[in-house]
Amino acid sequence: MKIGQKVKVCRIRQPIPEKMINRIKENPIGTITEFKMVDGSGVGFWVKFEEKMGTWFFEDEIEPTS
């Protein structure tokens, strides 16, 4: 996955506010705007949504859109 790519949230495993979870369920499509290495072996992706909100996701929580 790369910056600028559209992705769909397929699961949420980290704690985020319920209001944000509800918005993501309504529209799970966002755009990767940055990434960083986490835990020395994984990658975290900042996904920004149309509602001008965003949060970090791990690679197994998002999938590329077609």
Count of structural domains, the chain: 1
pTM, entire model? 0.86
10 occurs within a structural domain: yes
The tens digit of pLDDT for each residue in 1-53 reads: 999 999 999 999 889 999 999 999 999 999 999 999 877 778 899 999 987 89
User: Can you tell me the distance from the alpha carbon of 22 to that of 1, in angstroms, rounded to the nearest whole number?
Assistant: 25
pLDDT at 38: 78
1 occurs within a structural domain: no
42: buried, middle or exposed (CB in 10 Å: 19+, 13-18, 0-12)?
A: exposed
The boundaries of the domain holding residue 36 are: 6-64
Q: Which of 60, 1, 6 is nearest to 31 (CA)?
A: 6
16 occurs within a structural domain: yes
